[in-house]
Structure formats: structure tokens, C-alpha cells
Amino acid sequence: MRIDLHNHTTRCNHAKGSMESYIERAIELGIDIYGFSEHAPMNFDEHYRLKFSEMGLYTSEVEMLQEKYKGQIKILLGYEVDYLEGKMDSRVLNADVDYLIGSVHFLDEWGFDNPEFIAEYQNRDIDTIWQEYFNAIEAMAKMGQFEIVGHLDLIKVFNFMPKKDIRTIATPALKAIKASNMVIELNSAGLRKPVKEIYPSPLLLELAYELEIPITFSSDAHAIGQVGYRYSEAKELATKVGYTQAVSFEKREKLFHTI
């Protein structure tokens, strides 16, 4: 069973290609379950996300594709939601979707994974940055609003690594993820970034396995050529750690599949 649940559309203003072309590519690659998870609307950083006024259109297009490609591929509807206190919106959190991905892209409104703002790393202590990031992941998990943790260790994107043991920094967040019954994704987009590593790292995936946290798979595609990106490497990492199953969703409920 091949699953790819974290993918974007042109409605976020930084992806390319029609939604249908993503589906056609997924079918070519033998993907069985494909999820659209557009950057959810929010009254913050509005240019890089879906507009509130487009939520209905987004849903309608997914539903059209679900009907058109029924029997060839299962298509799911989701959102990727930025965890930012005071910015998240009930129209998104209560939306009728298959799943929500909770992600941390901002620390105190600093877009730490955006190359435009990479210079800020020189102004902060790297251990403190990592701790703040995983504190935010922990708080996001404790909200109990999301099914999937997006790119668990995204903070490593530019390969600025902490001096402290990463396991010590991340363990409270992973325990909160377990307590909230969430899933983590093996997100291959990290292989396209300076860090050149899947999110999460093998070390953190091993911790997640020990805590019996389920997994899913994601390519985080923003272009047709990124659909199913290096899926075999993500699958190999999962099985090496010990995972035999991966999760998809239907109306916010987990479905388990053999990898």
C-alpha cells in the first residue's frame, strides 16, 4: 500500500501544476492513497496559503477528482495548519475533512524554514531554537486538534544542529504526540533541502517506534515531479526501524495498512 498524504496545490501561491496533474502522476507511480493538504487559511502570512474565500472551491475540486478517479486511486481531503497561538481559525479546525496536519513553521512569527530569513540563525542560540521549536510541537500536540504531525524535525532544514542531545530535546513532544493519539509522517521533502535527510531523522523515528507512535508517508509535493518523491527511501527507513504498517484517514479516523 503506497500512501502520500501531504501535498499542495497552486492555491497556496507557491506550488505549480493542476490538481488533476498531481493525481495523474500519483496513479502513474502506483500510489494507492493520495491526500491534498493545502496550507490552511489564516490571518497571517496570507500570501502563502489558501484564502478563506477559496475553502469551498478547494473542497469542490477535490470532490470532483474523487469522483472522476474513483476505482483508480483514493483521494483524501485535508489541510496543513500552522500552529500559531491566536492565529488558528475554527473554520479550519472544525472543517469536514479527512485529516488535519499540524505543523510548526514559525517561532515568534519568524519563518525559520524560509531561506529569506536564514540570517536570523546567527542572532540566536541554536540549542534554544531547537528547544523552542519542540516546545511548540508539544503545545500543538496537546491541542488535540490534529491527526498528523507535519515534518517532525523541520527545524533541522538548514542543517543547524544542536549541541544538546536531540532525543532529550524532543522526547516531551513525542510523549505529547503519543498522548494525543497522533501520527507522524515520514516526509521526504527533507531530501530536497540543505539537510538532505527525511523528516524525522532515524534517531527520532526510533524514539517514535519505541513509543508506538504510528506513521504515514508524505512527499510534501509543491510540483508534479515531487509527487511520491523518493518514496522507496522513506519506506526503507520505516521498515528498518521496525514499522510494518502505515496510516491513512477517513473523516478523521485512522485506517491501518500494511507497508
- How far apart, in whole angstroms, are the C-alpha atoms of residue 81 and residue 259? 26
Residue type, 150: G
Kindly tell me the sign of the dihedral angle through the C-alpha atoms of 13, 51, 49, 152.
negative
Do residues 155 and 117 make contact, with C-beta atoms less than 8 angstroms apart?
A: no
Check residue 48 and give its pLDDT: 83
Check residue 146 and give its pLDDT: 98
Check residue 13 and give its pLDDT: 85
Number of other CB atoms surrounding residue 237 within 10 Å: 19
* H-helix segments, the chain: 19-28, 55-68, 90-93, 126-143, 166-179, 202-210, 231-241
Check residue 184 and give its pLDDT: 98
Check residue 47 and give its pLDDT: 85
Q: Which residues of the chain have pLDDT under 70?
A: none
Task: Dig out the grid coordinates for 5 from the structure.
Answer: 498524504
pTM of the model: 0.97
Q: Looking up cell 541554536, which residue turns up?
A: 126
Query: Which three-class secondary structure state does DSSP give residue 107?
Result: strand
Check residue 104 and give its pLDDT: 98
Check residue 11 and give its pLDDT: 92
Cα distances from 172 to residues 3, 34, 107, 154, in angstroms, run 28, 31, 18, 17
Check residue 46 and give its pLDDT: 80
- How far apart, in whole angstroms, are the C-alpha atoms of residue 159 and residue 38? 26
- How far apart, in whole angstroms, are the C-alpha atoms of residue 20 and residue 28? 12
The H helix count followed by the E strand count for the chain is: 7, 11
Do residues 31 and 73 make contact, with C-beta atoms less than 8 angstroms apart?
A: yes
- How far apart, in whole angstroms, are the C-alpha atoms of residue 44 and residue 82? 10
Task: Dig out the grid coordinates for 154 from the structure.
Answer: 523541520
Check residue 42 and give its pLDDT: 95
